[in-house]
Amino acid sequence: MGFVTTVSQCLLCHEPTQMVELCHVSFGSIVRCQQCALVRVSPFRSSEQLATLHASLEYFQHPYFEARRDLAREESVAKQRALLSTLIDGSSLKKIRLLDIGCDTGALLVVARDEFGMDVMGVEVSREASTVAQQQNGLNVVNDFNELRGLRGTFDVITLVDVIEHVANPAALLEEVSQLLRAGGKVYIITPNHDALINKLGLILHRVLGTRARSLIEKLYIPYHEFYFTEATLARLVKQSGLQIERQTMKEFPLNEFGHGLILKLGLVPIFAAQRLTRRQTLQELVAVK
């Protein structure tokens, strides 16, 4: 366990608190609030710094996104279809208005529009990604979240796929999501689960090997993530924004979307099996209602 730093107010528990270092990475430290156990990067980064990071070409070309975009079309469509099916009431004939925040090139929105007949819109900070979404997929995608202000209370479903861990203030984001939803509307969130066994293993390795474990540690703690939510901290954040949790489930990271080498993938197979048995998988999914 490393240093302790004092902050005047934690984003989740709103208390003056001490942040304890869990591990050291090349871009700072991963720290945990002593009061509420919120895990985040230190030093904290501003929304401007994070927007610059996420708008970069390097981010657009991250192996994780490349692997996801390289999925066979049928496989990708099946994945988006499964996600959307869990969110809609099959008996409803009303045209559903969907907003995908952090929509990348628009894979989810295309399926929502073409297969489910939804009225769709996206927000994406990366201009490379939004240009593909607009020009190749004919989607309505804006780059700036502020452009949505006039649409408050109009969305039936809002999706946040691997987004909440990337922003400077997830509490403010969820409050805005709540504003954008109509009464009874739903938000879908998927984000890494910091209770996953692989995180515990990584932190043990870090304690034993120090900086020699860094390349492995930095597969778990990547420079683009500002926050690492556990089941409890994510639930608390969502409830604080006034939304009611409908379900929260653990889910495994699909190995075919893991943009790294075969040896690392093979090493993950037994870890993922243990995670499934202990219900401490790599990802968590949450659906909440306004």
- CB 159 to Zn ion: min, Å: 27
Between 15 and 252, CB nearer to Zn ion: 15
As a whole number of angstroms, the distance between CA 153 and CA 144 comes to: 18
- CB 19 to Zn ion: min, Å: 8
Pairing of strands 181-192, 283-289: antiparallel
Contact 114/93 with Cβ under 8 angstroms?
no
- CB 279 to Zn ion: min, Å: 25
- CB 228 to Zn ion: min, Å: 13
Between 233 and 281, CB nearer to Zn ion: 233
- CB 215 to Zn ion: min, Å: 30
Strand partners, 30: 23, 41
Side-by-side strand order, sheet with 28-33: 4-7, 17-25, 28-33, 39-42, 227-228
Angle at 159 between CA 139 and CA 69, to 5 degrees: 60
Between 191 and 233, CB nearer to Zn ion: 233
Helix axes 73-87, 107-116, angle to 10 degrees: 70
Question: 12 in helix, strand or coil?
Answer: coil
- CB 87 to Zn ion: min, Å: 30
- CB 13 to Zn ion: min, Å: 3
Between 7 and 213, CB nearer to Zn ion: 7
Between 54 and 225, CB nearer to Zn ion: 225
> Phi and psi dihedrals of 97, rounded to 5?
-95, 115
Between 36 and 53, CB nearer to Zn ion: 36
| Sites of contact with Zn ion (CB under 5 A) | 10, 12-13, 33, 35-36, 38
Q: How many CA atoms lie within 13 A of 246 on its CB side?
A: 12
> Phi and psi dihedrals of 265, rounded to 5?
-60, -45
Between 13 and 71, CB nearer to Zn ion: 13
- CB 202 to Zn ion: min, Å: 22
As a whole number of angstroms, the distance between CA 113 and CA 90 comes to: 16
Instruction: Say which residues have a Cβ less than 8 Å from residue 18's Cβ, sequence separation at least 6.
Output: 4, 5, 6, 7, 33, 34
As a whole number of angstroms, the distance between CA 101 and CA 136 comes to: 19
Residue with CB nearest Zn ion?
A: 10
Between 35 and 154, CB nearer to Zn ion: 35
